Amino acid sequence: MPASTRHHRALAVFVHCLGILAAVPALPAAAPEAAATPRPPAAAPQPTAATPRSTAAPPAGTATPRPSEASTTGTPGPAATRPPVAMVARVTEPTPPSAPPAMAPPSRAPASAPPQQVTVAVAPENSPAPRYRIQVRNVGNAPVETTVRQELPPGSSPTAISGGGRSTRAGGSATEVTWRLRLPAHSSTTLGTALAATPPGQPLTAPACAFTSDGTRPYDCATATWTAAAAPAAEVTEAPPWRRYPVLLAGLAVLLLISAALVWVWRRRRGRRVTAAALAGSGGPGGERGTIYPRPATPQPTRRRRTPPVWLLVGAAVAVLAGVVGTAGWTATRQVSQIDTQKQPTSGAWMGTAVAGPVGVPLRESAFEFTVYRMSCGTPGSAGQSDGGAAPANGRRCQATVGVRNVTGDHQPWHGQLQRAYLPGGRWVSTDEPATRAANLGRDVFADPMAAGTRMVLPLVFTVDGRDPPQQLEFRSGVFSAGVRVQMP
């Protein structure tokens, strides 16, 4: 082969190899490591259509610089170092969409009660007159100033109050005892009240709450019911038989029947004696007393069988009827007296049974246990001052301190529109949610469900109009729950 031909073929092979090396960066990466290499940022300088491209091929003996060499030396390489088609494909390559999440986003977490800095415990004492012992404990690491209020039963009056407490009229017939305390860190104090003696068998419930220093937001609340000590079992005996109405009526009926039977037997024997005396006293011939037997053959009159007189039968029937009617009436009266007239009738559409009770008594429905510890109302016309006139002109705020406990095994939602305050005349209003959020320091207590087994003590605000306070508070966990009703004093 001539030398010129060998040189041309070697040059052709060399140029062909250079073209292959220039086209290798534009090929798709086949290895996993190459696929994992991040793409260059979009701000990197890329050739545009306005940039003039050289159409002349490089000399055959000149080596084409690599992109790494151009970036190292700082001298831009020729535009033909990479094929234009490969560059456009790399720039306009779409970003693949992100894969959908493997799991659904979690639902709203149930609300849990914030940690309590002050706790309250109330216990009744075993005494002839009502007495209560209140223990207030600061479980925090800093001293706390708190206001403790105990709501006394309607109509009761305190006879003794522990040091620092004073009795005030809370409105209506209700009375409350107030203490202002400063509790050091991790300390506790015990308060006490004594009430005037009450009739035996009458329980008295007196709840107590610890509030912030301004007396608006509750820390914790507790309640207790005092009941008179039961009499010993030996002294509690049933009434004697002669003091029971059914026994008395039955004895009277039996006595009348026995008396009537004795009268009838006596009259019959008396008739027989009169007949025998008449036959024995009849004289024979010569005035001598004859013998009864043998009797003369004279026809004897037909004798009717003696029966009890009509008045005796009628009297006995009246006595028995009176006994039966009296026994039935006494039994029916006892059964009717055992019926609780306070319970409201429910239908099959409601969940659970409606329950009613006074302030301070825990009332349970299908999902929650509600306890109303206290309610205070402002003056008429004070509601519009706090929200810029959104409330009625004569409206006022009534704030109820309510304890809510989730008695189910799952978290339960509840809604402000289902919590109502009933006014005189049957009108009702729902919870004022903006005012309730403000009373809870901006926290929406109805936004999240309550966790299972948790308990919260929180203020609920109702905006009412007129001068009369609410007569009843109604609380429900759901639309179909029978709910509970609390009678306000």
| CB contact at 8 A, 486 and 370 | yes
CA dist., res. 125 & res. 133, Å (int)? 7
Task: Tokens for 326, please give them.
Answer: 């009296």
**Same structural domain for residues 388 and 479?**
yes
Distance CA 14, CA 125 (A): 109
Domain boundary among 192, 226, 260: 226
What pLDDT, on the 0 to 100 scale, is given for residue 357?
93
318 & 368 share domain: no
pLDDT score of 182:
93
Write the CA distances from 339 to 246, 332, 336, 362, 363, integer angstroms.
22, 11, 5, 21, 19
Domain boundary among 226, 261, 277: 226
The 8-class DSSP code of residue 289 comes to: B
Q: List own/partner pairs for 422-430 with CB under 8 A and 24 or more apart.
A: 422/470, 422/471, 422/472, 422/473, 422/474, 423/464, 423/466, 423/468, 423/470, 423/471, 424/468, 424/471, 428/474, 429/462, 429/463, 429/464, 430/462
Boundary residue ending a domain (167, 192, 226): 226
Quick check: is 154 in a domain?
Answer: yes
- Together in a domain, 324 and 378: no
- The pLDDT value given to residue 156: 86
Check whether residue 67 and residue 184 sit in a common domain.
no
Residue 326 and residue 417 in one domain: no
Q: Are residues 79 and 175 in the same domain?
A: no
State whether 64 and 123 are in the same domain. Answer: no
* Number of neighbouring beta carbons within 10 Å of residue 372: 27
Sheet strand arrangement including 455-465: 363-364, 368-377, 395-406, 455-465
Helices 310-337 and 245-280, packing angle to 10 deg: 170
* The pair of three-digit structure tokens given for residue 87, joined into one six-digit string: 């560059």
| Residue 173 placed within a domain | yes
Which residue range forms the structural domain that includes residue 467?
A: 355-487
pTM: 0.55
Residues of the chain with pLDDT under 70: 1-7, 23-115, 170-173, 229-243, 277-306, 334-350, 384-393
* Residue 415 maps to a domain: yes
Residue 175 in any domain: the answer is yes
Torsion of the alpha carbons at 339, 343, 345 and 347, rounded to the nearest 10:
-120
Strand partners, 401: 374, 459
- Do 207 and 131 sit in the same domain of this protein? yes
With respect to residue 407, please indicate whether it lies within any of the assigned structural domains: yes
Q: Which residue has the tokens 């095994």?
A: 409
CA–CA distance, 375 with 464 (Å, rounded to integer) = 13
Find the CATH number of the domain harbouring 412: 2.60.40.1240
**Tens digit of pLDDT for each residue in 183-217?**
999 999 999 999 988 777 788 999 999 999 888 88
Do both 361 and 482 map to the same domain?
A: yes
Does a structural domain hold residue 362? yes
Residues 336 and 359 in one domain: no
CATH of the domain at 134: 2.60.40.1530
Q: Are residues 82 and 163 in the same domain?
A: no
Domain count along the chain: 4
Indicate whether 66 belongs to any domain.
Answer: yes
Residue 320 pLDDT: 81
Same domain, 404 and 316: no
**Domain presence at residue 104:** no
Look at residues 419, 450, 413, 447 and name the one whose alpha carbon lies nearest to residue 432: 419
For residue 187, the model assigns a pLDDT of 94
